[in-house]
Amino acid sequence: MNYDVIVVGGGHAGIEAALASARMGKKTLMVSILAEQVGATSCNPAVGGLAKGHLVRELDALGGEMGLITDEAGIQFRILNAAKGPAVRGTRAQIDMDRYRIIARNIILTTPNLELIQEMVDDLLVEEGAVVGVRTNLLNEYKAERVILTTGTFLKGVVHIGETTQESGRFGEFAANKLSQSLLDADLRVGRLKTGTCPRVDSSTIDFSVMEEQAGDEVPTPFSFRTDRVSFGEEKKQLPCYIAYTNEETHTLIEGNFHRAPLFTGQIEGVGPRYCPSIEDKVNRFRDKERHHLFVEPQTFENTECYINGMSTSLPPDVQLEMVHSVRGMENAKIVRYGYAIEYDYVDPTELTHALETKKVKNLFLAGQINGTTGYEEAAAQGLMAGINAVLSIEGKEPFVLRRDEAYIGVLIDDLVTKGTKEPYRMFTSRAEYRLLLREESADIRLSGYGHDFGLIANETYVQTEKKREQIAEGMAIVNAHSYTPNKEFIAFLASIDEDRISDKITAQQIIARKSFTLDKLTQLFPEMEKFDAYIREQILIEAKYARYVEKQIEDIEKMKQNLHVKIPVGFDFETVKGLSKEIIEKFEKFNPPTLQAASQISGVTPAAIDILHIYIKMGQKKKNRK
């Protein structure tokens, strides 16, 4: 009963943490309340989306499993924001929830160095300020050098459906009611959050003919860089989703039952997610809206049950039934599972280092919803990083910390541990300052070197990634070697590909950067590009279109790195700096940082605040020099 690493919880964070630890050669134990629920997708039957797709791609590039499982269990694949720039696109897949769970559990059960046990952890075993193992509900004690908690919504979980409450981690599953006390005993700050889910409906009772069909992409794009794109596109069968709408009847019904809504009666105390509110919260906040979108999503390939995305609720069952019946196409729908809200304990993530280790208890790592996040993707990303860092810690090596300009994972963790969160945190592209550098399709080039070094990415895969890098570089060298003058021959060529003429000398990159310039035009301009496959040509086109913007972001990053060493004058009056919030001024005055580097590491201080402070320091120096 001695292990190198113990992972508590079998959700998406737990899976990635356990696999990373085991694959890096450590004897690992996963403790889960129900073995058959390892890999369960508790809420929506989908993976990815805007910014979340970036996390899955980065996870995959580092050697994580979520992308591969999604490709195998996926039943519809779409690129969101496909008409917009590549930096804000997001891959999203509907999944067969049953299949996803089975695949995940089988991987856990067949991975060398990894054991799974069905028990509930009640206590952390702590000696001299360091965790040394766990004690379960069966009074078994398991010892380990490192422990990773990935408890999801199970810590003192309480489910709300109307006026009724039930202690559950998920509906019908035991809550972990004792473990929170160990966290409190360790003097960790523990808070309360809330999330929820929507009704599930018998698909045979829905009239899809009156709804808007939403098909997957004609050529589906896999999540994993390790999935063969060609065979994937040829073999993958996809199911449609459907769009429905609430209406005035729905809103009136909900409004008339606010007095029975746990969200408004004070029954629920935890803070819920702002960006994904319950239907009753949406009606309350946006009463002027005539309707709200509902996405009717199949939960399995057989499509026997549908998830009504957009109708998250904790209203009583009778109200939920009337609410569903008020929607066109669902007048006769039968609810299989009622929606519910769930409250649970979480740990203030400012209690963590960037390695996701707690500052107050050595060798204890936290990942997933216990850190205040929501979403499968955010959880999985943290799980992988916690697993890697637990192993590196055992080996006495420096922690693996991704910078904000390296990965969305770096943004996610930096946001959590420096700023904290008072509501369930979700990733958005707007959170990343350098999103042109962090595009989905570049994740393997950016990160697979790390995954390879850790032994999580196979040599063959890494060689393919390096080949991709070299081919893109070769294509960009071709682009950068050419410029054109407005002679008759070239103007005629531009007209032949339906491009505007030029009047001055111009580089090939400037022409490619035009919004109208397509992949087909690239091969017409440079026939030698045909030696690359279509995927590589597309990457070259994207690189060329955004080359100047990327260069500017790289310059900004280098400038920021240099500027961080700037000293803050002794006695500097932070109150004189316009543009800083009162909260940040108070933090600067409290900690009195000697340099911009030190200032940037204070919890809650943003890069924008550092920029403003730097400007005022330079202004002060100029005034001093003039005197």
Instruction: Grade residue 97 by pLDDT with cuts at 50, 70 and 90.
Output: very high
Q: What is the mean pLDDT of residues 57-68?
A: 98
Same domain, 333 and 351: no
Is position 557 within any domain?
no
Instruction: Grade residue 384 by pLDDT with cuts at 50, 70 and 90.
Output: very high
End position of a domain, from candidates 325, 341, 357 = 341
Is position 558 within any domain?
no
Q: Please give the residue that has the higher pLDDT: either 553 or 376.
A: 376
Length of the chain: 627
- CA 85 from chain centre, in angstroms, equals 19
- CATH assignment of the domain containing 103: 3.50.50.60
Same domain, 472 and 592: no
Same domain, 595 and 483: no
| Residue corresponding to tokens 């009239």 | 207
Instruction: Grade residue 277 by pLDDT with cuts at 50, 70 and 90.
Output: confident
Q: Return the amino acid letter for 336.
A: V
Cα 578 to Cα 209, 501, 585, distances in angstroms: 57, 47, 10
Same domain, 63 and 24: yes
Joined tokens for residue 68: 């591969």
Q: Using CA atoms of 217, 223, 226, 231 in order, give the dihedral in degrees to the nearest 10.
A: -20
Does pLDDT of 624 surpass 90? Answer: no
* Strand 364-366, strand 141-149: pairing: parallel
Closest by CA to 35, choosing from 15, 56, 53, is 15
Domain count, the chain: 4
CA gap 184, 160 in Å, rounded: 25
CA gap 536, 438 in Å, rounded: 17
Q: Which of 320-324, 426-430, 524-528 has the lowest mean pLDDT?
A: 426-430
Q: H or E segment at 26?
A: none
Does pLDDT of 562 surpass 80? Answer: no
Joined tokens for residue 443: 């994740």
CA gap 28, 182 in Å, rounded: 22
pLDDT at position 590 = 85
Q: Are 91 and 223 in contact (CB under 8 A)?
A: yes
Does pLDDT of 606 surpass 80? Answer: no
| Residue corresponding to tokens 């009156």 | 210
- CATH assignment of the domain containing 520: 1.10.10.1800
Q: Using CA atoms of 270, 271, 272, 277 in order, give the dihedral in degrees to the nearest 10.
A: 120
CA gap 383, 377 in Å, rounded: 10
Same domain, 172 and 221: no
Cα 536 to Cα 521, 530, 533, distances in angstroms: 15, 10, 5
Instruction: Grade residue 627 by pLDDT with cuts at 50, 70 and 90.
Output: low
Is position 544 within any domain?
yes
Longest CA pairwise span in the chain (Å): 86
* Strand 335-337, strand 200-202: pairing: antiparallel
Exposed / middle / buried, residue 149 (Cβ in 10 Å: 0-12, 13-18, 19+): buried
Q: How does DSSP assign 230-244, residue by residue?
A: HHHHHH-----EEEE
Q: H or E segment at 307?
A: strand 305-309
pLDDT at position 609 = 87
pLDDT at position 140 = 98
Is position 138 within any domain?
yes
Q: Phi-psi category of 310—alpha, beta or left, where left has phi over 0 and alpha has psi -120 to 50? A: left
Q: Are 113 and 25 in contact (CB under 8 A)?
A: yes
Q: What is the mean pLDDT of residues 380-389?
A: 98
Q: Please give the residue that has the higher pLDDT: either 168 or 553.
A: 168
Give the start-end residues of each E strand in 478-528: 483-484, 506-507
End position of a domain, from candidates 322, 341, 360 = 341
Cβ neighbours of residue 421 closer than 8 Å, sequence gap 6 or more: 349, 372, 373, 415
Could you report the per-residue pLDDT of 170-204, keeping only the tens digit for each?
999 999 999 999 999 999 999 999 999 999 999 99
Could you report the per-residue pLDDT of 196-225, keeping only the tens digit for each?
999 999 999 999 999 999 999 999 999 999
Could you report the per-residue pLDDT of 6-45, keeping only the tens digit for each?
999 999 999 999 999 999 999 999 999 999 999 999 999 9
Does pLDDT of 623 surpass 80? Answer: no
Is position 226 within any domain?
yes
Q: Which of 66-70, 120-124, 320-324, 617-621 has the lowest mean pLDDT?
A: 617-621
3-class DSSP state of 94: strand
Is position 410 within any domain?
yes
Cβ neighbours of residue 289 closer than 8 Å, sequence gap 6 or more: 282
Same domain, 183 and 38: yes
- Please write down the long-range contacts of 586-595, taking CB distance under 8 Å and 24 or more positions apart: 588/613, 593/568, 594/567, 594/568, 595/564, 595/565, 595/566, 595/567, 595/568
pLDDT at position 211 = 98
Same domain, 332 and 355: no
Could you report the per-residue pLDDT of 482-493, keeping only the tens digit for each?
999 999 999 999
pLDDT at position 85 = 83
| Mean residue pLDDT across the chain | 94
- CATH assignment of the domain containing 591: 1.10.150.570
pLDDT at position 554 = 86
Closest by CA to 154, choosing from 134, 180, 135, 136, is 180
Could you report the per-residue pLDDT of 315-353, keeping only the tens digit for each?
999 999 999 999 999 999 999 999 999 999 999 999 999
Is position 621 within any domain?
yes
End position of a domain, from candidates 427, 453, 479 = 453
CA gap 371, 413 in Å, rounded: 10
Q: Are 339 and 199 in contact (CB under 8 A)?
A: yes
Same domain, 261 and 330: yes
The alpha-carbon radius of gyration of the chain (Å, integer) is 26
pLDDT at position 328 = 98
Does pLDDT of 603 surpass 90? Answer: no
pLDDT at position 291 = 95
* Strand 28-32, strand 114-118: pairing: parallel
Same domain, 513 and 568: no
CA gap 275, 336 in Å, rounded: 26
Number of helices and strands (H, E) in the chain?
22, 22
- CATH assignment of the domain containing 281: 2.40.30.260
Same domain, 289 and 267: yes
Could you report the per-residue pLDDT of 569-593, keeping only the tens digit for each?
988 999 999 888 888 898 898 888 8
Q: What is the mean pLDDT of residues 124-132?
A: 97
Same domain, 336 and 353: no
Q: Are 412 and 383 in contact (CB under 8 A)?
A: no
Q: Are 470 and 508 in contact (CB under 8 A)?
A: no
- CA 52 from chain centre, in angstroms, equals 4
The whole domain housing 586 covers 564-626
Is position 559 within any domain?
no
Q: Where are the alpha helices (DSSP H) in 326-373?
A: none
Work out the percent of the chain whose per-residue pLDDT is above 70.
99
Same domain, 242 and 268: yes
